[in-house]
Amino acid sequence: MKTISRSVLSGRSGAPALALLLLAAAGGAVGQSQWEESAAAQSGTGAAYAPFQYSTITSTWNTINATRVPVGFNGQTFYEDVTLVFTTDATGKLIIAPGYPVTTLSPTLIVAGFKPGKYAGPSAILAGQALITISGPGVTGGGATEWSLAATAGASASTYPNSATFYVGPIASSPLLARIQKAGLSAATQAAWSFGLGGSNSGADGGAWYASNLLLGFSQTANALTIVSFTDDAGNDHSMPVGQITYTMSQ
């Protein structure tokens, strides 16, 4: 762990740093490609820069956290997690607490081979109109990532699943761990999949996809994305998949 000099992020007082972080939070997350374009424009200048608008900003009470802030210097990029804690001085003025900001190197993102993009299901299913789009990764604690799935515009209304979110990271920190354990999945099955929740309007695979709170498993090898459902059409979870479909990345 290291502490950045207050002057690096905030100048002579804490106010500019607070304004920077709040503006970044208001601006929202920006795509990686846009950050790369900005970094390319800055490269070779020799100046250090940390565009907070490309990080994930969260806050709790008097603390602001910026996750995976890209820090550029001399053509190299590092990712750091930044914590700012605020307090007040004797007059009630908001100031940065002693010892802050504090930074640590960001953990390497866990993506397990998943790729954002558009995917198409087998041509024999729904006349080739089972189409989905995978978006991500979003950053969570410890380098774990979150991804989302949505039916692509123009896809069949019966595409399955047609919406989902899934978590990629250690099973022990999965937000779905309790449900996975209750369903009785073996350790080998838990290790084989990344888990999420989703649903569809389809009765395919004997109704295994016709629900809104399906326990889903995701696995990707190269451009092939396999999705399984552990939930039947009655909403009961099982220890083994009851439905499966494989999508192939199309673009």
Mean pLDDT of 175-189: 97
Residue 32 has pLDDT above 90, yes or no: no
Cβ contact 148:134 at 8 Å? yes
Label residue 26 by pLDDT band (50, 70, 90): very low
Q: Which of 65-79, 101-115, 171-185 has the lowest mean pLDDT?
A: 65-79
pTM of the model: 0.70
Q: Which of 42-51, 158-167, 200-209 has the highest mean pLDDT?
A: 158-167
Only one residue has tokens 């605020």, namely 86
Label residue 183 by pLDDT band (50, 70, 90): very high
Please, what's the largest Cα pairwise distance for the chain?
A: 72
Amino acid residing at 214: L
Residue 106 has pLDDT above 60, yes or no: yes
Counting residues of the chain whose pLDDT is more than 90, the rounded percentage is 55
Cβ contact 95:18 at 8 Å? no
Counting residues of the chain whose pLDDT is more than 70, the rounded percentage is 78
What's the pLDDT at 251? 75
In whole angstroms, what separates CA 228 from the centre of its chain? 20
- Arithmetic mean of pLDDT over the chain: 82
Residue 103 has pLDDT above 50, yes or no: yes
What's the pLDDT at 73? 82
Cβ contact 232:239 at 8 Å? no
Q: Which of 41-55, 58-72, 125-139 has the highest mean pLDDT?
A: 125-139
Q: Which of 13-17, 43-47, 211-215 has the lowest mean pLDDT?
A: 13-17
Label residue 114 by pLDDT band (50, 70, 90): very high
Alpha carbons 104 and 65: distance in angstroms, whole number: 11
List the domain boundaries for the chain.
Answer: 2-105, 117-249
List the structure tokens of 47: 């100046």
Cβ contact 170:180 at 8 Å? no
Alpha carbons 69 and 78: distance in angstroms, whole number: 8
Residue 202 has pLDDT above 90, yes or no: no
Cβ contact 6:101 at 8 Å? yes
